[in-house]
Amino acid sequence: MKTLTIIGAGISGLICGIYAQRSGFRTTILEKAGNPGGVSTSWKRKGYTFEGGIHWLIGAKTGVPLNDIWTETGALQANNPVFFKDPVYTLLDSGLQLDLRRDLSTLKQYAPEDRIPLALMRFHVWCFSFFHSPVQDISDLKVRHPRKFSLTEFIKMGPAVLLTPWLMSFSARTYIRRFRNPHLRHLLESVVDPDINALSLIYTLSSFSSGDSGYPEGGSLRMAQNMADTFTKLGGQILYRTPALEVVREGDTIKGVHTAQDLLESDAVVISMDARTAIDKLFTPALQAPWASRMRRKLRTAQCMFIALGVHADLSARPRCMQIMLNEPLHAGGLSFNALTVNNYSRDPEYAPEGCTAVTCILSGPSYKYWKQAREDGKYAALKQEAIADFISALSTALPEIKDKVEVTDMATPLTYERYCDTFEGSYMSEWKPCHFCYNAPLRVSHGLYFTGQRTAFSGGLPVAAETGRRCAQVVCRDFGAEFVSR
C-alpha cells in the first residue's frame, strides 16, 4: 500500500481522498480547520444555522456526469435530498415583484419590448442545456468502472462549445444591457456577479432551466460531513486542526509533509488548499516553476463579504431569494451596492428557532485591501459592526417586518476566509472576468506531487472542485500503477 497525504479537507481534497483510498492508497487528509468542507461550509450561531457555501449545486440532477461524483462520494444521500427552488430569484423594486422562474419563457410577460433579446437569450441558454461538465477517464489508466464516452452527447455539446469563446469575451453586464426593461435587467443581475463573463450567466441560467442546480437540504456542512464519513468508513484518516507546514522533498522525491508535531512520511502528496497560497507557503524555497511565477504575476481573485442575520420574525411570506433594489446605495468594505441579493431560509425549519428566520447576503467585490488596512489601523471590528448596522438598516427599509427584530448577526470578510482556509487574498472562488485566462496550477508537478481544487481548472466553484479531485486521484493512480476504483 502506498501512502498518500492530502493537504486540505475541502470538497476537492475529500473527493480525491475518497477515490484514492478506494483505489488502494493509505490516505491521510490534513486539515487546518476543525470541520470538513473548506469554504463550502455552514455554521451555527445561537440557534440559527447560516449557510455560507452552497447556493446552487450543479450536478444535482440524476443522470448528468457530475451527479455520479456526488453519488459515488456519498455527498448526496437520503439525509440531504436536493431541493429545486422555483422561482430561483425574485426582484423587489419599489413595490414591484418579478420572478425569475426556471421556465425562462415566463419573462416575456414583464418585458414585451424585449421579446427579441429574450428569445435570443433563451436560444443561448438552450444551447447550453446539453452541456455538462465533462467527467472523463484519463488515458493510460486501468479503470475498474470505465466511463462510457457517448459520441451523441459530445455532438450535442457542439453549439455550447461554439458559443463559448464569444460569451467569454464580454461581461454579463454587457449581455444584460441589451434588454431595455430596467426591472428585467436588475432581475438578471442577481444571477451572477455582473462583472464576470457572460458565459457564467448563460451557463447558470441553463443549469436552472434544465433542472440541474438545486440545494441539498442540511446545506454545505451536511454534504461535506457525508463525504468525510464516506472517506473515514473506507479507512481514510482526517487530522483536523493540523495544518501542513511544509512539503518535504529531496530533489524531486517526495519525503512527506511537516506538521507542527512531526513529519508525516508519504509516497505522494496532493495539495488541495489554495495553490496560490501553497506555492509560497509550503515549499522551501518557494516553488519557482514557470507556471508558479505566472500565477504570482497574473492571478486575480474573487472576493466577497458575507452577512448573516438571525431575525425574530417569520419571513415565509417573502420569496426565498430576493434581489432587493435599494433607494440609497449601501457602502461596505470600501464598495457600494445598489442592490442586495438576500437568501431567506424561513422555509427550512432546521435553520432557525420556530417563528424566526436565518437571512444571508453575499456582497461580492474586491474588499480585501480595505479590510486589511482596517485591521492594521485597529478599526476592523468597528468597521464590521458599522457595515452590519448599515446592512440591517437598508434591509429593514425593504422588509419592514425585520425592523428591531434582528437578534444575531455575523459577518465574514476576505480576512475571515484567509484566516480559516488560507485562501489567497481571502478569495472565495476563482475569478473569471471577460477575456481573462485562469492562471492555474498543473494537476501533476512531478511524480508524487500534485495539485487539485479551485485553482487547477476553469472556471471555479464546486464543479471544478469535484472534477479536479477525481481527475487528480486518477493521475496519482496512473503514476503508481494502481487501478482506479470509483465505487
If the CB atoms of residues 133 and 486 are measured against ligand FAD, the closer one turns out to be: 133
477: closest CA among 168, 97, 21, 33? Answer: 21
d(CA 4, CA 24): 10
Given candidates 52, 74, 218, 426, which one binds ligand FAD under the rule CB under 6 A?
A: 52
Q: Does 418 bind ligand FAD (CB under 6 A)?
A: no
Given candidates 20, 30, 107, 392, which one binds ligand FAD under the rule CB under 6 A?
A: 30
Given candidates 357, 423, 459, 474, which one binds ligand FAD under the rule CB under 6 A?
A: 423
The answer to whether residues 188 and 179 touch, using CB atoms and an 8 Å cutoff, is yes
Taken in order 468, 469, 470, 471, the sign of the CA dihedral is positive
Size of the site for ligand FAD (CB under 6 A): 38
Selected range binding ligand FAD among 10-18, 284-292, 385-393, 431-439, rule: CB under 6 A: 10-18
The angle at the Cα of 83, spanning 200 to 399, to the nearest 5 degrees, equals 80
d(CA 249, CA 197): 40
Q: Does 236 bind ligand FAD (CB under 6 A)?
A: no
d(CA 149, CA 135): 10
Given candidates 67, 453, 475, 482, which one binds ligand FAD under the rule CB under 6 A?
A: 453
If the CB atoms of residues 32 and 132 are measured against ligand FAD, the closer one turns out to be: 32
238: closest CA among 4, 451, 475, 447? Answer: 4
**List of residues 6+ apart from 248 with CB closer than 8 A:** 254, 255, 256, 257, 258, 263
Q: How many residues does the chain have?
A: 487
CB of 485 to ligand FAD, least distance (A): 22
If the CB atoms of residues 220 and 346 are measured against ligand FAD, the closer one turns out to be: 220
CB of 220 to ligand FAD, least distance (A): 7
If the CB atoms of residues 110 and 417 are measured against ligand FAD, the closer one turns out to be: 417
Beta strands in 399-477 (DSSP E): 406-412, 429-430, 444-446, 449-451
> What are 431's strand-pairing partners?
none
Q: Does 438 bind ligand FAD (CB under 6 A)?
A: no
Buried b (16+ CB within 10 A) or exposed e, 380-415: beebbeebbeebbebbbebbeebeebbebbbbbbbb
CB of 448 to ligand FAD, least distance (A): 18
Q: Does 10 bind ligand FAD (CB under 6 A)?
A: yes
If the CB atoms of residues 91 and 361 are measured against ligand FAD, the closer one turns out to be: 361
Q: Does 266 bind ligand FAD (CB under 6 A)?
A: no
5: closest CA among 419, 450, 479? Answer: 450
Q: Does 9 bind ligand FAD (CB under 6 A)?
A: yes
Q: Does 388 bind ligand FAD (CB under 6 A)?
A: no
Selected range binding ligand FAD among 1-9, 73-81, 185-193, 225-233, rule: CB under 6 A: 1-9
Cα atoms found within 13 Å of the Cα of residue 4, Cβ hemisphere only: 35
C-alpha cell at 429: 472562488
Q: Does 192 bind ligand FAD (CB under 6 A)?
A: no
Binding mask 133-172 for ligand FAD (x = CB under 6 A): ----------------------------------------
Residue with cell 456526469: 65
3-state SS assignment for residue 58 = strand
Given candidates 454, 459, 474, 486, which one binds ligand FAD under the rule CB under 6 A?
A: 454
Given candidates 244, 359, 363, 473, which one binds ligand FAD under the rule CB under 6 A?
A: 244
CB of 120 to ligand FAD, least distance (A): 26
Q: Does 475 bind ligand FAD (CB under 6 A)?
A: no
Binding mask 334-373 for ligand FAD (x = CB under 6 A): ----------------------------x-----------
State residue 480 phi and psi, 5-degree precision: -105, 10
3-state SS assignment for residue 51 = strand
> What are 49's strand-pairing partners?
44
Selected range binding ligand FAD among 28-36, 204-212, 311-319, 439-447, rule: CB under 6 A: 28-36
13: closest CA among 465, 392, 363, 409? Answer: 465
Q: Per CB under 6 A, which of residues 277..316 are in contact with ligand FAD? A: 306
If the CB atoms of residues 39 and 324 are measured against ligand FAD, the closer one turns out to be: 39
Chain residues in the site for ligand FAD (CB under 6 A): 7-13, 30-33, 38-40, 52-56, 58, 243-244, 272-274, 306, 362, 421-423, 428-429, 453-454, 460-462, 465
